[in-house]
Structure 1
Amino acid sequence: MNPAPILEVITARESVAGVAADELRGQISALSQQLTALETELAELATTRNTLLRLAGHTDDGQCAGTGPGNPTYQQILAVFTTAEQQLRAKDICRALGIGVTANHTEGLRAKLNRLVTRGVLTEDQPGLFALAPAPAGHADATVA
């Protein structure tokens, strides 16, 4: 038996398989580079997001620092709304809280009211008029702890 024809077939197949393997290695290399670039971009975006949230005063859970329901200042503001039967202006709330009604007092309070609007605790149907937001459907008690 002459092994030459079988060896030629093996050699030809090795050549084809070698070329295919080289092409796959090239594709793997290109895909690895693309994956590394995307992973780097994702890490940079996450870092940027966290930095912006921290600079904006948000905590790790995405809430505004100091605007949680347990904050005494916000508790006092919400207490005024629970007894009010109408929409209130910042100046009215300042009076109810016993703080000054000068521009710096009302503007500081208005900023807090706007944070509560953003969080969905209050509504501002007309500019400058604030009211408690309606309780979400399915919640029997909408009090803030």
Structure 2
Amino acid sequence: MGSVLERLAAREQAASGRIEEIREQIAVLACELSQAEAELERLRIGRQVLTEMLAEDVEPAGIAPPAPAARASKRDGRRWQTVPHRSDDPDLASLPQSYRDVLEAMEDADQSLRSVDLCRSLGLGVKAAATEAMRGKLNRLVERGWCVSPETGRYALAPGVAGRMP
């Protein structure tokens, strides 16, 4: 009977190992998906801006296009939040509040975090929509120099970045 239990325990351990490998693959793929989605969004915005600029060139005389500040975004009627590059404006106050909250939570943790960890610490829940949105914010912060990604799926403050305003 002991050998059967030992074989069963070995199979269980192998299955657990395979599950962990699959989870790591999912994390890598989720990161790649997030980067591809960000690239697609960037291209869509570029196309939209170019289309608007070309349309402005053929506007009939006397009809001015709406001012950029008056244009609403397509996301729930809210305006897009701009995240400046850290090299352009190193002041934390230039970031939208939601991004400052993320940096503050990262500073409190004092270690690299996953997007799901940040969602938990900010009270956003751990549903896929919240964690993917957080991953998008984190990738944007990395792209703009506010954070670093020391390993796939983990994020930390960039050197010299404080999570709180003085």
TM-score between both structures, scaled by the size of structure 1? 0.50
Higher relative contact order (CA 8 A, sep 6+): 2
